[in-house]
A = this chain, B = another copy of it.
């Protein structure tokens, strides 16, 4: 039931563009969902994509604009005049329009805003531009249905009809006082079953969830998920109703947050996609790699400290990548579990209990792995028993230390208000590499006395 783009279809579209057969283009694209047209445009070159964009109606192209990949949208917008861009934005919901304006350069921004036809809509958009992207204000839209507590049911129904015209999904009717302060909400059912002369103040529900305009978007997502809400009203510092956030806005927040944690864990410091430019990808990837390289310098120096062992016990050095890798892997596992626990708010119990648990867990894992290592070093790697023993003892110690570092660094970062997801990935791997190698050779030195 989903539309699948075929090569033949793309070919047909390209041919019609070449022939400048605007009418047929409109006809074949008319029945296709705007999300699918966005995918078709992604398959065309910029000129052809812009051509189609100019052929279709602005109520359709406005929706398409939202679904395009960033670089294609940027490119198409750069080929439209401020007036043409304003025509697109007039068709969009306030928050979508504000998101697109935010991507424009400073000069064009002002021109586009001045070209907006619907003054109320323009006011709302300008209003939304003031809020930071990752706050309730940054994700809310202005479209909502509100009624005054002093009205009666009849006035209310009339007003609602007017307001609801521009809103795709009503969800809730909010009740405000003369100062626009949020007082409660109305259920559609109550409204329809009550006499038209009843005062709104007699029927509305006073208990409702709301968020402040400065609340973090992830916090809003958490509350909406927790209380299973499809929409939540947003109020300003004075308690005035300024907007509404719906569940589909939140889906993006949840997805972005989880994706971002994953990227940080993989050592990618900015939100990038595979199709971004090489410069953008380098900017996102290089910082952690430089850090890891500097960490690598330290491992070189640490190994240099134990140069004395090289003559007699050279094969100790064969095990350094193994020890370092195990330290890194264990650390990343521990930190990932804590980072997700913090993100999903599922951590309970005291720090001391967590310490005991992590030590037990890592001891259990460490002993199992060390046993495999001891047997393997004897039968597969043919090293002397004393070296096997040193590596085994070192592995257990390294696993315990690495899992403690992996557990407590994210907790510490969180305490200081830093995103704990920063701790996973190359940062933990690198510091655990260094610690692991240091512990390993120190144990070797103690036992062998070089």
Residues of chain A having any CB pair with chain B under 8 Å: 1-2, 33, 35, 42-43, 69, 169, 209-211, 223, 225-228, 230, 247-248, 250-251, 254-255, 258-259, 261-263, 265-268, 272-275, 278, 281-282, 285-286, 288-290, 292-297, 299-301, 303-304, 307, 310, 314-315, 317-326, 328-330, 332-333, 335-338, 340-341, 344, 346-349, 354, 357, 360-361, 364-365, 368-369, 372-373, 376-377, 380-381, 424-426, 429-430, 433, 437
A290: chain B residues at CB < 8 Å are: 369, 372
Which of A254, A294, A322, A335 has the most chain B CB atoms closer than 10 A to its own CB?
A322
A300: chain B residues at CB < 8 Å are: 318-319, 321-322, 377, 381
- Measured in the bound complex, the distance between the Cα atoms of B296 and A282 in whole Å is 30
Interface of A is mostly: helix
- CB pair A266–B322 under 8 Å, yes or no, is no
- Measured in the bound complex, the distance between the Cα atoms of B341 and A69 in whole Å is 12
- CB pair B299–A1 under 8 Å, yes or no, is no
A289: chain B residues at CB < 8 Å are: 326, 329-330, 333, 365, 369
Which residue of B is nearest A286, CB measured?
B365
- Smallest beta-carbon distance A316→chain B, Å: 10
Which residue of B is nearest A171, CB measured?
B169
State which of B42, B266, B325, B347 has its C-beta within 8 Å of the C-beta of A274. Answer: B347
- Measured in the bound complex, the distance between the Cα atoms of B289 and A42 in whole Å is 41
A381: chain B residues at CB < 8 Å are: 297, 300-301, 304
- CB pair A274–B338 under 8 Å, yes or no, is yes
- Measured in the bound complex, the distance between the Cα atoms of B323 and A7 in whole Å is 44
- CB pair A348–B43 under 8 Å, yes or no, is yes
Which residue of B is nearest A360, CB measured?
B278
A357: chain B residues at CB < 8 Å are: 278
Contact A282/B361 with A318-B300, A321-B437, A325-B296 known, Cβ cut-off 8 Å: yes
- CB pair A322–B348 under 8 Å, yes or no, is no
* Given A266-B336, A299-B321, 13 new contacts (CB under 8 A): A266-B335, A268-B336, A268-B337, A272-B337, A274-B346, A282-B364, A299-B325, A300-B319, A304-B381, A317-B317, A317-B320, A321-B433, A332-B425
Which residue of B is nearest A250, CB measured?
B251
- CB pair A281–B341 under 8 Å, yes or no, is no
**A-B contact list, 10 entries, CB within 8 Å:** A1-B209, A254-B254, A263-B336, A267-B336, A274-B340, A292-B325, A293-B369, A293-B372, A320-B320, A325-B430
A348: chain B residues at CB < 8 Å are: 42-43, 69, 275
Which of A254, A289, A433 has the most chain B CB atoms closer than 10 A to its own CB?
A289
A230: chain B residues at CB < 8 Å are: 169, 230, 247-248
- Smallest beta-carbon distance A286→chain B, Å: 6
A261: chain B residues at CB < 8 Å are: 262
- CB pair B329–A267 under 8 Å, yes or no, is yes
A255: chain B residues at CB < 8 Å are: 254-255, 258
- Smallest beta-carbon distance A66→chain B, Å: 9
- CB pair A262–B273 under 8 Å, yes or no, is no
A211: chain B residues at CB < 8 Å are: 1
